[in-house]
Amino acid sequence: MNSSPTNTAPALAAAAVANALAATEAQTAPVAAPAAAAPVAAAPVAPAAPVTSGFDALGLAAPILQAIKATGYTEPTAVQARAVPAALAGRDLLVSSQTGSGKTAAFMLPALQLLTQPHAVAGRGPRVLVLTPTRELAMQVTKAAETYGRNMGRIKTMSVVGGMPYPVQNRLLKIGVDILVATPGRLLDQMNSGRIDLSRLQLLVLDEADRMLDMGFKDDLEAIIAKIPKTRQTLFFSATLEPGIVRLAGALLRDPQRIAVDNAQTRHENIVQRMHFADDMGHKNRLLNHLLRDVEMNQAIVFTATKRSADELAQDLHMQGFGRRTAR
């Protein structure tokens, strides 16, 4: 059984099935800033290794291919096969693809390839900026940059997201960064304080642009985009292409190549999806309790919107007599 929350109605989003009873979000470590401090990225690297997998045809540099191989990927996903060569050719992209399609690597691999060449101008400002709707997604993207870039020396990646203490963020920004992964609100805040120099920016990525609009970041996005170089390349990713998204994309992209990839997630016919409307939190919690007490329910996963509500719910359920295990 699975169900979806809505933004407006106090709908019950109690999802059950499979594994542990827990609410989960991505990792919460605030920042990652690997490798040594140098304003200009690594020197040119050797050309790609001999053909050994479907990734070899994409035109990526050897250290990136080696990192991909080490992750265990053997073939590019559909969005990677189409987006990577087009991005490497310098095109702006308008990509509709879902989470789970491999979209992160589809933009991160070309971003890393860009960093195999030094920038013409030395400086501390980022060359790649990835905007994400949530800090959790920002952390995932930061981790992907580190994973795929681990064989490239001197690539500095960091995230600028809300909730992170300013002194830490400010210190890291001073050191300099190649790939900046940020949520719009905090980024704009830091830009307005003069702590981020985006004059060297070469590649802008919007990840889950539709969610950014849904979350009310339209004005922040426009303010950020007004302040970054027009000469940049832009890769625009969105699960949906509704009119607001197309308008934003139209304002941002130059002669973009459109790439539409079917949802990679197959429909699981054995999963029943139901939506329950609840009057208020108390009602929602009683409904959840009722669902979880079903004697045939041996294991359940409950998804929540935030890490905090995951913790609170796990604690409530624990007090109601359910075993507690929170996965992050």
Q: Point out which residues bind ligand AMP (CB under 6 A).
A: 73, 75-77, 80, 99-105
Name the residue type at position 28: T
Q: How far is the CB of 49 from ligand AMP (least distance, A)?
A: 17
> Of 103 and 156, which CB lies nearer to ligand AMP in the complex structure?
103
Cβ atoms within 10 Å of 230's Cβ, excluding its own: 7
| Angle made by CA atoms 22, 27, 33, in degrees to the nearest 5 | 175
Cβ closest to ligand AMP, residue 2 vs residue 99: 99
> CB 139 → ligand AMP: shortest distance, Å?
12
Shortest separation between residue 101's beta carbon and ligand AMP, angstroms: 5
Strand partners, 242: none
| Beta carbon of residue 72, minimum distance to ligand AMP (angstroms, whole number) | 7
Give the start-end residues of each E strand in the chain: 11-12, 93-96, 128-131, 157-160, 179-182, 203-206, 233-238, 257-260, 276-277
Least distance CB 57 / ligand AMP (angstroms): 13
Task: List, as one string, the DSSP characters of 254-315.
Answer: SSPEEEE----SPP-TT--B--EE-SSHHHHHHHHHHHHT-TT--------SSHHHHHHHHH
Residue (65 or 196) nearer to ligand AMP, CB: 65
Tell me how far CA of residue 160 lies from CA of 35, 101, 131, 173, 328, in angstroms. 18, 25, 10, 9, 20
Q: Based on CB atoms, which residue is closest to ligand AMP, 77 or 113?
A: 77
Report the residue number, 100 or 250, with the smaller CB distance to ligand AMP.
Answer: 100
Name the token pair of 300.
């359940």
The CB-of-106 to ligand AMP minimum distance in angstroms stands at 7
Tokens, residue 135? 């800090």
Residue 210 or 220 having the CB closest to ligand AMP: 210
- Mode of pairing for the β-strands spanning 233-238 and 203-206: parallel
